[in-house]
Amino acid sequence: MSIFEGAGVAIVTPFRPDGTVNYEKLSQLLDQQIAAGTDAIIICGTTGESSTLSMEEHKECIRFTVEHVAGRVPVIAGTGSNSTETAIELSQDAEKDGADALLIVTPYYNKATQKGLVEHYSLVAQSVSLPIIMYNVPSRTGTNIMPETAVEIAKRNANVVGIKDAVGNISQTAKLAHLIKTEGVALDIYSGNDDEVIPILSLGGKGVISVLSNVMPKETHDMVAEYLHGDRDKAVAIQLDTIPLIGALFCEVNPIPVKTAMNLMGMEVGGLRRPLSEMEPANLQRLEKALKDAGLL
């Protein structure tokens, strides 16, 4: 059984003016997402600035989210790290705190070999009983989980049941989908890029782990739901209509534009943690125009 089908939001971590986590605002964001139909909450992912959260902040964000969501939708905790031991510690704590599943990014900076990736994911998987979604985003980590490696990891570890595909190479995704089918492996594919939701669904994907959903939760949910329910023309129309905004949301490194967009929309999610910085003026103008064109400003 899939962890979820549909649109999961890679939710931002809101901060107060003093830079601390704003849990009151986080609770509001969680409620708004669930009310809009979001199918899963992904906490402490890249969009949540997990790499600049302290260990205690990271754990507390997961604890808080699990408690506040209270079973309304699955909570998937981002517990990856460039250190296998740290990933194990975060994963075990998330399991104790009631997370429904884990999102484990490939080790960044270290640039593990394919053999190292198999060992890394296997050690984390064997340390918990929760289902795991691998997160493949080479543009940020410098490491690509090759299709054969992803299938090998899933074969070795029954609780590795999904992969967030943010490779940006539909040919690689197609090869992965082919291997999953021919090898008979239970491994769900989720789009990790908002501009590739429909292409990945067409290859058998189960949904998206979305940045766009932070500002357009209903539309992101509906795009996947319409496709899965058979109205592919409507789903494609939503995908195409959102392309300009998606482009603006990724014109600078995520989550700079999406947090800026949320603040422009009056959602008051606070600033960014260094080394992330404010948007360049030209990119800010592009973002503002895209938001206006989408009817969000």
- Buried/exposed code over 167-191 (b: 16+ C-beta within 10 A; e: otherwise): beeeebbbebbebbeeeebebbbbb
Alpha carbon distance 242, 219 (integer Å)? 9
CB 90 within 8 A of CB 59: yes
Question: Which of the residues 25, 59, 121, 164 is marked catalytic?
Answer: 164
Question: Which of the residues 25, 108, 121, 135 is marked catalytic?
Answer: 135
Give the closest residue to 47 by CA, choosing from 209, 176, 196: 209
Alpha carbon distance 174, 86 (integer Å)? 32
Q: Which residues contact 252 (CB under 8 A, 6 or more apart)?
A: 279, 280, 283
- 135 belongs to the catalytic site: yes
- 155 belongs to the catalytic site: no
What positions carry a catalytic annotation?
A: 135, 164
